[in-house]
Amino acid sequence: MTTDAHTLDARGLNCPLPILRTRKAIAELESGEVLEVSATDPGAIKDMDAFCRQTGHQLLSSLQVKDTFVFQIRKS
């Protein structure tokens, strides 16, 4: 994980809240900045992928650490 990433803790939130919070957080970033999102909702895996495809942001990584899914998204 990059240390200069902005972070969003969406653990414990169910769909659609992780995506809604991600959309809001990424809107506050400059183009090229990275948002790291932590979520526990298993639906977030396909939701983050679809969100990035639809918005043009780049999904840099998607991994699972125990019961938490961690995504890094670069704002387009």
Alpha helices for the chain (secondary structure H)? 17-27, 44-55
Beta partners for residue 64, in sequence order: 69
What is the predicted pLDDT for the residue at 75?
Answer: 97
Domain of 32, in residue numbers: 6-74
- Which among 15, 20, 50, 63 is annotated as catalytic? 15
* 15: annotated active-site residue: yes
Query: Order of strands, edge to edge, in the sheet holding 34-39?
Result: 6-10, 34-39, 68-74, 58-65
Confirm whether 53 is domain-assigned.
yes
For the chain, give the percent of residues with pLDDT over 70.
93
Note the pLDDT tens digit of each residue in 52-75.
999 999 999 999 999 999 999 999
Question: What is the chain's mean pLDDT, rounded?
Answer: 94
Hey, is 6 helix, strand or coil?
Answer: strand
Q: How far apart are CA 57 and CA 76, in angstroms?
A: 5
Q: In CATH, what number is assigned to the domain containing residue 12?
A: 3.30.110.40
Query: In this model, does residue 5 exceed pLDDT 70?
Result: no
Query: In this model, does residue 35 exceed pLDDT 50?
Result: yes
Confirm whether 1 is domain-assigned.
no
Number of domains making up the chain = 1
Hey, CA dihedral for 54, 16, 64, 4, is it positive or negative? positive
**Mean pLDDT across 21-41:** 97
